[in-house]
Structure 1
Amino acid sequence: MLALVRAEVHADIGTDHARLPVALIRSGRARRCVAVELNPGPLAQARRNVAGAGLAAQIEVRAGDGFAPLRPGEADSASLCGMGAATIRGVLERAGAALPTRLVLQPNDSPEPLRVWARAQGYHLTAEALTEGYWLYPVLALERAGGPDPAYMGLPLAAARRYGPLLLRAAGAALREQVEADLRRLTPLAAPGRPAERELATAREAWAWLDGGT
């Protein structure tokens, strides 16, 4: 996550305890941060952590929902981590003019809705990763750019949206294990007309690419 951020002003939306902004400032990957948190308990802890780190001059902790506490154009980069993809997408859709040109997103579930949103809104994927935790967490780095996203060119679209175009191209062991697990899970569930049938077809598309498309 840290390596995907480089900004003059970075906004961490739903910052929790402000650990990411503290790390960004200490590592020199951001010159200033705005840490936004809605819930009173984590908000108070974020303010204590920033003060304890001696970084109150470089990290401003603000109370609020999503991008609402930010002025249009104030941040050139933002992160949203540790939420469901649908929640993250809702925050992005409400951001309006405060939405920056670069985003780093880490949903707790399938990132497919975020990839769909990014393609529709003119954001290109610049990096993707699977990070270990309680399970494999996807991380997406996005940047606003013109034209179709080249990351998807030449790939089966359903598989790329489900598993990630850059991850499919990299064909790493973690993604192979994820696709294999989906194949095992979905095969006994698939029947004509059921969602599992479509999901299984997508997993098979991904496996065919990993097996021969690289």
Structure 2
Amino acid sequence: MNAPTLDARLEAVLSLICAESHADIGSDHAKLPIRLIREGRIGRGVIVELNPGPLALARRNVARARLEAVLEVRGGDGFGPLAPGEVESASVTGMGAGTVAGILSRAGERLPPALVLQPNDSPAPIRTWARANGYHLTAERLIPGHWPYPVLRLERAGGNDPAYAGLPLAAALRYGPHLLREGSTLLRRQVWDDVVRLTPLAAPGRTAQVELDTARAALDVLGETGR
């Protein structure tokens, strides 16, 4: 089996992983861990999948790649099939941010020191979880696709996360502190789209007003006040 092709979002996830041992949670087809092994980014991996269909597919793909000696496929929910301290890092991709944050919250002592996460919607719940649970946001990517896909790397560390220093917190949680500082064209478009969408909905006391204020604060960081 040749090295599998990944879409742009999973290529970004792959670029942020480097560890001796790694777990891919909700792996589906197992293409990401196969590529990680093929490229020498990990020495061994654990593939976790809850649903029977994807679990069987992952096992078939690992067998076809002849990587059973270094990639173990386990059935189960979230980090449940792992032992505490078993892996150095883990990835969770292709799920809603709330779902990812729930998986992390239930993991307890099974959480590794490094996490690479790719939610399919606003990653604010993940950034909020990280700040409350001793993880620093060390890298971010924003990848174009059906919508902008955020990719985050978290690392366990003490003290306040320096990534948020000097930024409006709500805007940094919504759009990402590293991404705001980089100010890519894709992020600028995303923030402007939010402003356009929220402006006719906003009114005092409405959630849309809070979200609009957050988007406008992001524009201030980006140095934009209008098109």
* Segments of 4+ moved more than 3 angstroms: none
- Correspondence 1:75-86 to 2 at 5 A: 75-86=87-98
Q: Which residue of 2 aligns with 1:100?
A: 112
Secondary structure in 2 matching 1:188 = helix
- Correspondence 1:28-67 to 2 at 5 A: 28-67=40-79
- Correspondence 1:110-121 to 2 at 5 A: 110-121=122-133
CA distance in structure 1 between the aligned counterparts of 2:43 and 2:144, rounded to whole angstroms: 28
RMSD across aligned positions (CA): 0.7
CA distance in structure 1 between the aligned counterparts of 2:221 and 2:84, rounded to whole angstroms: 41
Q: Deviations over 1:78-100 (max 9, x none)?
A: 00001111111111111111100
Q: Which residue of 2 aligns with 1:127?
A: 139
CA distance in structure 2 between the aligned counterparts of 1:106 and 1:2, rounded to whole angstroms: 11
Secondary structure in 2 matching 1:187 = helix
CA distance in structure 2 between the aligned counterparts of 1:131 and 1:172, rounded to whole angstroms: 11
Q: Deviations over 1:20-74 (max 9, x none)?
A: 1001000110000000000000000000000111111110000000011001100
1:10 aligns with 2:43: no
Residue in structure 1 matching 2:175, options 158, 163, 171: 163
Aligned length: 212
Q: Is the 8 A contact 2:58 2:73 kept in 1?
A: yes
Q: Deviations over 1:115-168 (max 9, x none)?
A: 000000010011001112221111110000011000000001110000000000
CA distance in structure 2 between the aligned counterparts of 1:88 and 1:208, rounded to whole angstroms: 30
Q: Which residue of 1 aligns with 2:189?
A: 177
For normalisation by structure 1, the TM-score amounts to 0.98
For normalisation by structure 2, the TM-score amounts to 0.92
Identity of aligned residues (%): 67
CA distance in structure 2 between the aligned counterparts of 1:166 and 1:193, rounded to whole angstroms: 30
Give the unaligned 5+ runs of structure 2.
1-12
